[in-house]
Each structure stands twice: as C-alpha cells, then as structure tokens.
Amino acid sequence: MSKGARTRASILQAAVEMACLHGLSGVSLQPLADRVGMTKSGLYAHFRSKEALQLATLESATERFLEAVVAPSKGAAPGLPRLEDLYQRWLAWPGNAELPGQCPFFAAADEFDDSEGPVRERLERTFREFRQVGEQLIASAIRHGHLPADTDPEQWFHELMALRQAHHWAAGFMRDAKAPERSRVGFDRLVGRRPT
Amino acid sequence: MSKGARTRASILQAAVEMACLHGLSGVSLQPLADRVGMTKSGLYAHFRSKEALQLATLESATERFLEAVVAPSKGAAPGLPRLEDLYQRWLAWPGNAELPGQCPFFAAADEFDDSEGPVRERLERTFREFRQVGEQLIASAIRHGHLPADTDPEQWFHELMALRQAHHWAAGFMRDAKAPERSRVGFDRLVGRRPT
C-alpha cells in the first residue's frame, strides 16, 4: 500500500468511528482534520468536499459491514442457520468490526431522510443491497423447509429489520440490559418457534 | 392567554416543526430566531439556553403526541380494539398532529444516545411513559381474552415498537409505498391473526 493509500485508510478509519459516535452529518473536513492531526488543506488533498468525504465514509462503513456481518455468515449451514447467524452478527455490529458506538446507517437514515443527492442515494443503496441479501437467505430457508412455504420474504425481512431497529433503540438509547433477550425472543417468534 | 404566553406558544410550534424536519439537535436559538422572525435576544427572554429550549421543545412535542395519539384512542372499545387504534394513530404521527416530517423522538434518540443530561433524561421519560401506556393496553387485551394468556406485555410492546421504527425507516427514509401494508401485516402477525 502506498503512503497516500495508507493515509487515506487511516483518515477513513477515523471518519467511520466519528459516524458511529456522532452521526454521518457530523463528518466534515475541519473536525476530522482535528481528530487525525492534519490540517484541513492536508485533508483536502484526499477529499475535495464534505460530500466526497461523507460518500467515502459510507463506502468504507459498508465494506466493514460486509466483512463483519455478511461474509462470515456464509460459513454457517444453509437455510435458517445461516439466516440466524447473519441476524446475530447484525445485532453485534458495529462492535464486531471493532467500531465504537452505534450502527452508523440507522442514524444517517434520520439525518438524510429529507435530503436529496449522492449521500442519500449511496445510503439507500447500502440498505437495498443488504435487503436483497436478507431476502435471498429467507428464500433459501423456505426452500430448505425451515420456514413455512407461504412465507413472504419481503415481509419477513421487514420484520427482521424492525427487530434490529428496536435493538438499536433499546440497547443504544434506553440502555436496556434486556435488549439482547428481547431481540432473541422476537426472532424465535418470527421463525415460529415456541417460547422456551 | 397573555401576549407572552402566545408568543411562547408560537415559538414552540416552530421549534417542534424544526425538530420533526431536522432533528432536535438542530433546534437552537439563532436558527429558531431566524425562523420566527425575532432577534436572538428577543428569544432569549423566553428560553435562557439551548438546553432550556430543547427541553421545552420535547415537552411540547410530548404534549402533542399525547393529544394526537394516546388521548383519542381512549374512545375505542377496550382491549385489542383500543390497542390497535393506538397503533394506527402512532403510525400516523406526527402528521395527525398537523406536524411536518418524521417522529421527532426517534431522530432525537440517535442524536442524544451518547449524551448525558436533562434533554436525554426527558426523552427517555417520554419513551418510558409511553411504554407504560402500551403495556397497560396489552395487559388489558390479555384480560379481555383478545391476546393469549401467556403473552408477555414487555416483549409484546418491544415488538410493537420494532414495527413502528421499521415504519419510520421504510416510509421516511426508503420512501417505500408498501410501508403501511407491511406495518399492518406485522401487527396482524403479532396479534396471531391468520394472513388474509
């Protein structure tokens, strides 16, 4: 890796951490320059605008998500085990990517819901591509006979997203120690398992 | 109502609208003064700090929520009909309080998740008090025989919150026209109704 590429990677590491801690809209040139100990003009050599920086931060966070959540779940048995593995890794994100704070995508969805432009479009694409991954795993669990044949993958994914978002709120904002149990019981109910 | 009270009410109306559109952390003295056509020092006569202003904005938003969502649901028949009425009004919030944008509480939960102090505490109380309302309605639906006797009201409310948050994401960020249907089908599944 060239020196320029290494510098860029360490800037993006700090930018993704900022997005997890304070939201993507707080990722801008001066605060990030302060954080990484560069001048704003030094940073400008890598990112020509706040928008370019936020886009690169989203790209980098998406790569981290794919590495920590999506890729390793392929090691689980196909069907429901793989779907459940993905869900557990998703709950553990972004801590399992050695990132602080909360899922940066959920906070950014609130920050950019009424904006237009490339940052919003990139975030929407991250969600759409992950939804596609999830719906394919649900369809596979149906084919394996692990979920009822009349299961609607789109609806099922929507309810899985619902559980992940409630986890974000219960664990992140409410600091509720029961959040992991609520997320597990919710998944069992979605699968149709009897309460234990 | 005195002139001072009328002025304060119209400032808070604008502040709650700002919170729905741009988040609670964006509600501060200068932007709000610009919006209501006052000087910052004129606004300062009503709210002595950004924190006092944000607290009053949360109080006001909570009152609007109680008026638009919680109070009218008491007109529905007790048990499941009342719970479902509350859920429908909750989905329609904040539009049903004639407010623009999205639920200001969800966005604020992301903004204040890692902060300490009175604004975070007030927001947490709004959530806790509403959770209590929800859990009481769920318990009532169990007593009326509308939900199974072994239903856990805390878990059930958590999953209702999950559906509301997924609605916020699907309708607000993803602009998904199917969001209302997904929210309805999710509620039916939670109740244990057969898909139609």
What digits encode the pLDDT tens for the residues A131-162?
Answer: 999 999 999 999 999 999 999 999 999 999 99
With respect to residue B37, please indicate whether it lies within any of the assigned structural domains.
no
Of A118, A142, A123, A154, the closest CA to residue A192 belongs to A142
Buried b (16+ CB within 10 A) or exposed e, A8-20: beebbebbbbbbb
With respect to residue A10, please indicate whether it lies within any of the assigned structural domains.
no
User: Does the pLDDT of residue B25 top 60, yes or no?
Assistant: yes
With respect to residue B171, please indicate whether it lies within any of the assigned structural domains.
yes
What digits encode the pLDDT tens for the residues A115-130?
Answer: 899 999 999 999 999 9
User: Mean pLDDT, to the nearest integer, of A26-51?
Assistant: 92
> Is residue B189 within 8 Å of residue A159, measured between CB atoms?
yes
User: Does the pLDDT of residue B131 top 70, yes or no?
Assistant: yes
Residue A3 to chain B, least CA–CA distance (Å): 34
Instruction: Decide if A109 and B162 are in contact by the 8 Å CB cutoff.
Output: no
> Is residue A150 within 8 Å of residue B195, measured between CB atoms?
yes
CA distances from A55 to A34, A58, A85, A118, A123 (A): 20, 5, 29, 7, 9
The model's pTM is: 0.95
With respect to residue B6, please indicate whether it lies within any of the assigned structural domains.
no
User: Does the pLDDT of residue A195 top 80, yes or no?
Assistant: no
Q: How far apart are CA A17 and CA A24, in angstroms?
A: 10
Q: Which of A102-106, B5-9, B178-182, B192-196 has the lowest mean pLDDT?
A: B192-196
User: Does the pLDDT of residue A196 top 60, yes or no?
Assistant: no
What digits encode the pLDDT tens for the residues A93-103?
Answer: 999 999 999 99
Q: How far apart are CA A106 and CA B48, in angstroms?
A: 32
Q: How far apart are CA A131 and CA A157, in angstroms?
A: 7
- pLDDT of res. B1: 80
Q: Which of A32-46, A160-174, B147-161 has the lowest mean pLDDT?
A: A32-46
Residue A87 to chain B, least CA–CA distance (Å): 15
Per the rule left: phi > 0, alpha: psi between -120 and 50, beta: everything else, A93 is beta
Number of domains, chain B: 1
With respect to residue A111, please indicate whether it lies within any of the assigned structural domains.
yes
Residue percentage of chain B with pLDDT more than 90 = 90
Q: How many CB atoms lie within 10 A of CB B34?
A: 12
User: Mean pLDDT, to the nearest integer, of B33-58?
Assistant: 94
Residues from chain A that touch B91, judged by Cβ atoms under 8 A, are: none
With respect to residue B41, please indicate whether it lies within any of the assigned structural domains.
no
With respect to residue A35, please indicate whether it lies within any of the assigned structural domains.
no
Which residue range(s) make up the domain with A180?
A: 51-191
CATH number at residue B64: 1.10.357.10
- pLDDT of res. B115: 86
Q: Which residue in the set B109, B166, B173 is minimally distant from A113, CB to CB? A: B173
User: Does the pLDDT of residue B80 top 90, yes or no?
Assistant: yes
User: Does the pLDDT of residue B16 top 80, yes or no?
Assistant: yes
User: Does the pLDDT of residue B195 top 80, yes or no?
Assistant: no
Q: How far apart are CA A130 and CA B98, in angstroms?
A: 34
Residues from chain A that touch B163, judged by Cβ atoms under 8 A, are: 159, 162
With respect to residue A21, please indicate whether it lies within any of the assigned structural domains.
no
User: Does the pLDDT of residue B196 top 60, yes or no?
Assistant: no
What digits encode the pLDDT tens for the residues A170-191?
Answer: 999 999 999 999 999 999 999 9
User: Does the pLDDT of residue B141 top 90, yes or no?
Assistant: yes
Residue B182 to chain A, least CA–CA distance (Å): 6
Q: CA B108 from chain center: how many Å? A: 10
Residues from chain B that touch A111, judged by Cβ atoms under 8 A, are: 23
